[in-house]
Amino acid sequence: MVKVAQARIVAAAGKTHLAAVITPNLSAKFFDVQGKSVSRVKKLWLGLLLPILLLVGCGSEPSATWHMINVNTGKLQGDANLIQTGGSTIMIDGGYYGEAKQSLVPYLAHLGITKIDHFFVSHPHRDHYEGLRALLEANVTVSHLYLRTPPQHICDREIPWGCNMADITALVNEAKAYGITIHRPEAGLRYDFDSDSSFEILHAQKDDLATDTIDVNDLSLIIQWSINGSTVLFTGDLNMKVGTLLSGDPRMASDFLKMPHHGASSLAPNTFFEKVNPIGVLVPGPKWIWCGERGERARTWVEQQKLPVWINGIDGNVRIDFFNDHVSVTPEYNSPDCKLRAFGAMDFQVPVKG
C-alpha cells in the first residue's frame, strides 16, 4: 500500500459533481524546478499558478470531522467512529479492548482528545463496546454513555459465542463507578450540536419481530447524522431481518453509508443499500472479510454501483472532513485491493446529491 501524501479528486460514477484542484507538486512536475533552469515562459506560468497553489494549500478548517478509526488491523473486526462537531466529541462504538488499546487510544492521544462527551454503543457485542474500557483505563473522561441492555432471551440465544449479559452488566457498573451518566436511547432521540449538525436515532429495535426471532446485531441503533447539508448513516451491525424491514423506510436515504456488520455476509440485504442510495461507502472491517467469501455480496454490490469505498483493513484510518461547501475523504493508505480501483482521497460537493 502507498501512503497518501496529497489529496486528489476522482469521479464517483456520476453520482456527484466533483471539481478538480491543483496540488503543489504540480509545480515540480510541470515546471521542472528541481535543480534545472526554468525558461522565461515556464517562469511566467509558475508566477500565474503560484497564487492558486497557495490558496489551495491554505484551505479553511472543517466544521466537523468523522474519523473511522482502524480497529481492524488483524483478524478481529470492530467499529470505532470518532466525531467532532459543534464543540462536542462523540464516539459510536470502540472496537475490542485489545484493538482499542493498540489503535484507538493512541489515535485519540495524537489528536489531544482527553474527553468524550457522548459514547454510543450501537449494540452490546464486545467488538463494539469493549473499547470504552480501554479509553477509561487511559484516563479519557466519558460524560454520557448510551447503551441498551438487550432482552435476556435474545442475548441467551448467543451463549457462548456472542452476547454476554454478565459482561454487559459489569460494563454498566464500571461506567457508573467512573461517574458516567447512563442513558437508554430510543428511536426518535435527537441531538442538535449546532444549527447545521444533528444526530437522530431513526430506529432502535426493541425485541423480536412479530413474525420471527432476531439476533443482537439486529438490535443495532440506526443513527443518521445531518451535517452541512450532507447525511451519514451509522448502521451498527444491522443484519438481514431488521434490514429487510428498514428497506422500505425512506428515512434511510443518506449520502454516506457506514457499511453494517463489517461487510460480512449476514448483513442487511441489498434492498437496504438501495434504499440508502449512498454516494460513498465506508467499511469498518478487516481485509480478510472484505476480500473473502464473507464480504462477497457487499463488495459485489458496491462494485456494481461503481461507488467509491474505503475499508479500514485496506485503507487504514479514514478521515472525513465536512466543510460548508464540500466533503473531503482522506484515507491513510491508497490501495486498489478488492475494489474497482484505489480511490485515494476524494472531494464531494455539497449538496452531494443533485
Q: What does DSSP say about strands 256-258 and 280-283: parallel, antiparallel, or unpaired?
A: parallel
pTM, full prediction: 0.85
Total domain count, the chain? 1
Residue 95 near residue 103 (C-beta atoms within 8 A) = yes
Query: Any idea which residue has 462504538 for its cell?
Result: 93
pLDDT of 122-154, one tens digit each?
A: 999 999 999 999 999 999 999 999 999 999 999
Whether residue 57 is contained in a domain is answered as: no
Nearest-5° Cα angle at 113, 196 to 223: 40
Give me the CATH number covering residue 287: 3.60.15.10
Where are the extended beta strands (E) located within the chain? 2-3, 64-68, 80-85, 88-94, 115-120, 141-146, 181-183, 190-194, 197-204, 221-227, 230-234, 256-258, 280-283, 309-311, 318-322, 326-331, 333-334, 346-349
SS3 of 50, please?
helix
Whether residue 303 is contained in a domain is answered as: yes
The band of 63, judged by pLDDT with boundaries at 50, 70 and 90, is: very high
Whether residue 211 is contained in a domain is answered as: yes
Phi and psi torsions of 314, nearest 5°: -115, -45
Whether residue 291 is contained in a domain is answered as: yes
Range(s) of the domain holding residue 236? 64-349
pLDDT of 212-261, one tens digit each?
A: 999 999 999 999 999 999 999 999 999 999 999 999 999 999 999 999 99
The band of 320, judged by pLDDT with boundaries at 50, 70 and 90, is: very high
Whether residue 209 is contained in a domain is answered as: yes
| Helices vs. strands in the chain: H and E counts, helices first | 12, 18
Q: What does DSSP say about strands 88-94 and 80-85: parallel, antiparallel, or unpaired?
A: antiparallel
